[in-house]
Amino acid sequence: MTDAERRRAVAQLLVIRASGHAEDGQRRYPQWEHCNRDLERLLRSGVGGVILLGGSATELQQRCRTLRSWSDSGDLLLCADVEEGIGQRFEGATWLAPPMTLGRLHRRNPQRALNLAERYGRTTGDQAKRCGLNWVLAPVCDVNSNPDNPVINVRAWGDRPQTVADLVAAFERGLNAAGVLGCAKHFPGHGDTDRDSHLELPLISHDRSRLEQVELVPFRRLIASGIASVMTAHLLIPALDEDQPATLSKAVLTDLLRTELDFAGLVVTDALVMEAISRRMGPQEAAVQAFAAGADLILMPADADAAIDGICAALAEGRIPESRLNESLRRRADALQRSERNPVDEAAPILETEGDRDLSMELVESSLEIQGTGAASHPERKGVNLIRVDGVLPCAFLRSGAAAISTLERHGYRTLICHDRGIEPWNANPDRAAPLDLGRLGPGPVFLQLFLRGNPFRAGQQRPEPWAEAIQQLIRAQRLSGLAVYGCPYRWDTLRRLIPDNIPAGYSPGQMPEAQQQLLEKLISGPRAANQQRDFTD
């Protein structure tokens, strides 16, 4: 193999980041998303994969056509992080309630949860194909056994190993039926962390026995079912490797995943721009170490050219045997051949079917949890619709016409949105029993809405907030008219115990506008709707 041939072969193993928008000026994250000039250059030089984010589903269709036209071979792996359906990342497609929805439903009605999980995978796969994607970076196989997990949380299918294994297997059956590749992540398990690997390297201190009983259970199930790919986790697990993160560990990727678990598909790194890796070493050495450890595909290196240079040099010097390159190329070719049995339908006139919309609504309806016998009061004078968002505004689920804002305003409430980089509702010198600055909120009843789900890249930047004490303060002042929690089930399970029966309260795992609308209708219309919801879910 000549140097030029080797360089082109290595380039096939990179998966680089691109915006779903057509124009450079539309990129949401230009620090990670290549400009069009660099994208075309890299694809023409042999780069074999692209991960996309942003834009509409219709724009994504055209973007995938363009990217394929820039690739001389055209055999691209085109993927997206669409754990909650294509609409999570691309407007106009279906945004599904997060996987944790079905983990909670599985406790009450296992068979219904499994049926919905398979439909979840089929809808995600079908829409991926219609948009031009052939690879879905899901399902998350992490068992979210740590309620304080800032990065997995509702992305997981549950907090019990067998539940997660059953649900991800059902999701994968749906993806397979749609004819797209799936990806089990984040190996060997990111569920029991209280640190975010986007920002730092989490430590998993469990022994091998615990890993076998919890973390590895869902991965073993999907490997046995023939999942196309497995994504690594940026975690330090001394029981497996005392020195190297899993992504860079031969003990984890080759000895455990390849040899012991007998995984024959593609191993892809989690994004190498994440600080758990990028803080430790530069893009060239990170790519080399991941490839040497057993990864086939290098996802989002901080510098694509440096990653290619590094792996080529390691191969030329004998640091990595040429056979490793050939093995990875073969696995990549096998995956593409598998996806090409059901080619993408880029000319599909309909991106979202009636069945897709029905699934979205059923997931929301099945996940709502309502308590209380009353309805939220309609204030004689303006009340306060107090909304807490645990991310940075603007956000996709809370635009000006979103139900969380418009529904309450129609009933006489004025909206006050607080977040950690803007309006603060707290007293300057907070009293533990009375943390809210009620004077700042203004008069009238308070309907409290909390959007809390854990956000990557935000861990450690948000201080704990005393919402339990705030709720008790509002109850003592006879000002709490209702509570809605969207996202994290653990916060809901704690806060719901504080609410007396005469005050309506409810929970939705989903934060999207449809979930807001359905939950608020139940809370504002009173016990009749709440009882109907209980009949539907129990």
Q: Which domain holds residue 168?
A: 3-356
CA-wise closest residue to 149 among 197, 188, 205, 215 = 197
DSSP string, 145-170: --TT-SSSGGGSS-SSHHHHHHHHHH
Q: How confident is the model at residue 480 (pLDDT cuts 50, 70, 90)?
A: very high
Determine, yes or no, domain membership for 193. Answer: yes
| Same domain, residue pair 247 and 215 | yes
Confidence (pLDDT) at 99: 97
Confidence (pLDDT) at 222: 98
Determine, yes or no, domain membership for 362. Answer: no
Q: What is the pLDDT of residues 432-470, one digit of tens each?
A: 889 999 998 999 999 999 998 866 555 445 567 899 999
Confidence (pLDDT) at 71: 94
User: Which of 312, 333, 356 represents a domain boundary (last residue)?
Assistant: 356
Listed range (209-223, 448-462, 471-485) with the worst mean pLDDT:
448-462
| Same domain, residue pair 383 and 345 | no
- What token pair was written down for 28? 């949401």
| d(C-alpha 278, C-alpha 70), whole Å | 29
Determine, yes or no, domain membership for 499. Answer: yes
Within 10 A of 420 (CB to CB), how many other CB atoms are there?
16
Determine, yes or no, domain membership for 208. Answer: yes
> Within 242-321, where are the H helices?
250, 275-278, 283-293, 304-316
The CATH number covering residue 71 comes to 3.20.20.300
> Within 179-282, where are the H helices?
208-213, 216-225, 250, 275-278
Torsion of CA 36, 42, 45, 48, to 10 degrees: -110
Determine, yes or no, domain membership for 363. Answer: no
pTM here?
Answer: 0.92
| Same domain, residue pair 305 and 388 | no
- What token pair was written down for 117? 């999980």
| Same domain, residue pair 7 and 34 | yes
What is the residue-averaged pLDDT of the chain? 91
Q: Please determine, for residue 535, whether its predicted confidence score (pLDDT) is greater than 50.
A: no
How many domains is the chain partitioned into structurally?
2
| Same domain, residue pair 374 and 350 | no
Per-residue pLDDT, averaged over 208-236, amounts to: 97
Q: Please determine, for residue 380, whether its predicted confidence score (pLDDT) is greater than 80.
A: no
Q: What is the pLDDT of residues 237-260, one digit of tens each?
A: 999 999 999 999 999 999 999 999
Q: Please determine, for residue 530, whether its predicted confidence score (pLDDT) is greater than 50.
A: no
Confidence (pLDDT) at 420: 67
Q: What is the pLDDT of residues 108-154, one digit of tens each?
A: 999 999 999 999 999 999 999 999 999 999 999 999 999 988 889 99
Confidence (pLDDT) at 533: 38
| Same domain, residue pair 143 and 286 | yes
Per-residue pLDDT, averaged over 362-384, amounts to: 84
Tell me the CB-side half-sphere exposure of residue 64, using CA atoms within 13 A: 27
The CATH number covering residue 438 comes to 3.40.50.10870
| d(C-alpha 89, C-alpha 95), whole Å | 8
Tell me which of 440 and 16 has the higher pLDDT: 16
| d(C-alpha 124, C-alpha 254), whole Å | 30
Confidence (pLDDT) at 372: 85
Which residues does 257 contact at the CB level (< 8 Å), separation at least 6? 187, 188, 230, 263, 267, 294
| d(C-alpha 51, C-alpha 251), whole Å | 27
Let me know: does 225 contact 172? Beta carbons within 8 Å: yes
| Same domain, residue pair 374 and 273 | no
Determine, yes or no, domain membership for 374. Answer: yes
Strand-pair partners of 358: none
Confidence (pLDDT) at 149: 87
- Catalytic residues, which ones? 198, 270
Q: At what angle do helices 322-340 and 304-316 cross, to 10 degrees?
A: 130
Is cis: bond before 509, omega within 30 of 0?
no
Q: Please determine, for residue 83, whether its predicted confidence score (pLDDT) is greater than 90.
A: yes
| Same domain, residue pair 166 and 224 | yes
Q: Please determine, for residue 268, whether its predicted confidence score (pLDDT) is greater than 90.
A: yes
Query: CB under 8 Å, gap of 24 or more: what pairs does 3-7 form?
Result: 3/312, 3/316, 6/312, 6/315, 6/316, 6/325, 7/45, 7/46, 7/308, 7/312
- Grouping H, G, I as helix, E, B as strand and the rest as coil, residue 193 is coil
| Same domain, residue pair 209 and 322 | yes
Confidence (pLDDT) at 384: 95
| Same domain, residue pair 271 and 322 | yes
Confidence (pLDDT) at 465: 86
Distance of CA 95 to the CA centre of its chain: 12
Let me know: does 143 contact 233? Beta carbons within 8 Å: no
User: Which of 297, 326, 356 represents a domain boundary (last residue)?
Assistant: 356
Confidence (pLDDT) at 536: 30
Confidence (pLDDT) at 143: 98
User: Which helix (DSSP H) or strand (DSSP E) does residue 327 occupy?
Assistant: helix 322-340
User: Which of 328, 356, 384 represents a domain boundary (last residue)?
Assistant: 356
Determine, yes or no, domain membership for 284. Answer: yes
| Same domain, residue pair 281 and 334 | yes
| Same domain, residue pair 319 and 440 | no
CA 127 vs CA 114, 400, 532: distances in Å: 20, 28, 32
Amino acid at 227: I
Let me know: does 515 contact 364? Beta carbons within 8 Å: yes
Helix (DSSP H) and strand (DSSP E) numbers for the chain: 20, 16
Determine, yes or no, domain membership for 51. Answer: yes
